[in-house]
Structure formats: C-alpha cells, structure tokens
Structure 1
Amino acid sequence: MSNEAVNGWDRPSPFTLALTPAAEHIDGLGHTNNAVYVQWCEQAGWAHSEALGLTLDDYRRLDRAMAIRAGHYDYLLPSFEGEALVLGTWLVSSDGRLTMERRFQLRRVADGATLMRGRWSLVCIAIRSGRPSRMPAEFLSVYETAIVPGERP
C-alpha cells in the first residue's frame, strides 16, 4: 500500500490525537523532549482504547490489562514549541490469546512530515498478580475488530 493511498499515514484509518508542544515539553536542545513523545503515545493508546469502548474501569472490573512488554521508538525529526502535530495509532496484530501490537506515527500538520514512529508489544496480564493471563472475551471482541494490518513500518 503506498503512502499516497493513505494520505501519508503508514496504515489506513488511524485513531488520531491532535497535539501541540508547550514550553514545558522543550528540552535543552530546543526541541520537544523524546520522553514527551512516549507520554503522548501512552495518551493516544488509552484514548484509542476508550474510543473503542474499553476503559480503565473495564480493565479493573475484568482484572485484566494490556501491559507494554516492549516499546521501540524511532525519532526521525524534531518538533518545536507551538507546532501543530497529530499522532496516529493502530492495533496491528493479535495472537488472540495473550499478545497484541500497537503502532504509532507522529506527523507535523504543516508539511505532513513523519517525526516519530513507535511500536509496542503488549501482553495481557491479570492486574492483581501482574502475571500473563489470556485476554478476556470482551478484549477480543473489541480489540480484534480494530486491527489494521499492513506492511508499512
């Protein structure tokens, strides 16, 4: 699938979050600190889950959570205070039992440039014990229908 086919996004139909770096996000090098991108990914992941219909309250009720087992971020270009940005996220795979993968793409609105790509390997855990546990049917019915497969990064 070409970039043009999905308007510059790595995959079609991202869940998006509009963002603007503020003064407190800027580091000693004069650009948005990379740790802020990680925080934004967490915000986007939760917002996407909530938009799909699974909230933190649901996680607690079910005693299950999708925990980040591994996170990887490629920082491609800097962003600066006041720039309009948009962070897209997708669920891209699931084994239907324990694991899922989530991808991220941060773009600058002015020129569409991709500033960062990220990916999370997620594992379902029982909240009380912190141990891996099968995804409940409620997770599968919500998350698996939201998966957007693709070949892009």
Structure 2
Amino acid sequence: MAWDYPHPFTLPRVPQADDIDGLNHTNNAVYVRWCEQAGWAHSEALGLALADYRRLDRAMAIRRGEYDYLLPTFADDALVLATWLVAGDGKLSMQRRFQLVRERDGVTVLRGRWDLVCIEMSSGRPRRMPQEFLDTYMAVVVS
C-alpha cells in the first residue's frame, strides 16, 4: 500500500449491506464510525484504553474532524483503514490522520484528520496531558 506516513496502525474493513445508503455506496457516516474504531483500537494497542482514561480523569477529545471523501466504496469492497498520530505539542493537543485504501487497486478513497485536545473527563475542561499520555502517544508521533 502507498501510505501517506510510515508504520501505520491498520484495520481491515468491508462495507456490509447496512452500511450502504440510498445512493448504493458506503454512507459517509460509516467512515466516521470506522475512524473512531481505528482511533480507539490504535490507542488500546499502544496500551491506553478507556479504563485508563477514566482512571487518569483525562481523555483525548476530538476538537475538529475533517474528512475528504475521494471515491465511493461499495458492499463487499475489501478496504484497509490506517491511522497515525502525526503531531503533538506535549501539553494539550495532538493530531491524528486517517487513510482508507481499497485493497484491489491500492487507491485511497478517504483521508481524515482529527485535531485532539486533552480534557479532564470530570469537568470537560482542557487539561495538560498526564505523563502516561506523553510516554505512550508522543513516542509514536510520525512526521
């Protein structure tokens, strides 16, 4: 695959009948859901799960999400969704990128970007990342 960044965390995805909308292609909301699943799966693979967020009273919340829907996909298309952490200030913010590629021809069908901010879960207010976040997330930021 021609990935936008090196060493992606990947998840295979195949649109099912319920993912297809009235235009007979994968509904855009499905891609957003898949990106959320990939973000959590990547975080868990790195060693930070929702239970850790709760224990630390901190979370990386999406401040802004952007998606470029480049080409449609259809039921039973074999796809691979990749994600990376590509930026972080070591204090409050990080950026996550996504790339969805169709397996049969290697064509990118979607790119996404999240701007993330660290919040205190109990108040919803921005707070500095705890050391566990810094140790885990900043170690895998790619450029």
**Deviation of the 1:108 alpha carbon:** 0.3
Q: Give the distance between the partners of 2:111 and 2:77, measured in 1 at CA.
A: 18
Cα drift, residue 29 of structure 1: 0.3
CA distance in 1, matches of 2:111, 2:132: 29
Structure 1: give runs of 5+ residues left out of the alignment: 1-6
Match of 1:28 among 17, 22, 37: 22
Amino acid of the residue matched to residue 144 of structure 1? M
Q: Distance in 1 between matches of 2:99 and 2:106?
A: 11
Under a length normalisation based on structure 1, what TM-score does the superposition of the two structures give?
0.93
Determine the C-alpha separation between the residues in 2 that align with 1:24 and 1:14: 28
- Give the C-alpha shift of residue 90 in structure 1: 0.1
Q: Which residue identity lines up with residue 73 of structure 1 in the other structure?
A: Y
- For residues 22 and 7 of structure 2, the distance between their equivalents in structure 1, rounded to whole angstroms, comes to 35
Q: TM-score, normalised by structure 2?
A: 0.99
Which residue pairs with 1:103 in the alignment?
97
1:119 corresponds to 2:137: no
Would you say 1:76 and 2:103 are equivalent positions?
A: no
1:87 matched to 2:73? The reply is no
Percent identity between matched residues is 69
Query: How many angstroms apart in 1 are the aligned matches of 2:122 and 2:106?
Result: 42
Moved over 2 A (4+): none
**Distance (Å, rounded) in 2 between the aligned partners of 1:142 and 1:64:** 14
- The one-letter amino acid paired with 1:21 is P
The DSSP-based 3-state class of the residue aligned with 2:132 is: helix
Following TM superposition, by how much is the alpha carbon of 1:145 offset from its aligned partner in structure 2, in angstroms? Answer: 0.4
Structure 2 residue runs of 5 or longer lacking an equivalent are: none
Indicate the SS of the match to 2:81.
strand
Task: Find the residue that maps to 2:10 and give its secondary structure.
Answer: strand
CA distance in 2, matches of 1:125, 1:33: 30
Q: Displacement, 1:84? A: 0.4
Alpha-carbon distance between aligned partners in 2 of 1:25 and 1:18, rounded to the nearest angstrom:
15
| Cα displacement string for residues 80-111 of structure 1 (whole angstroms, at most 9, x for unaligned residues) | 00010000000000000000000000000000
Question: Could you tell me how far apart the structure 2 residues matched to 1:48 and 1:146 are?
Answer: 11
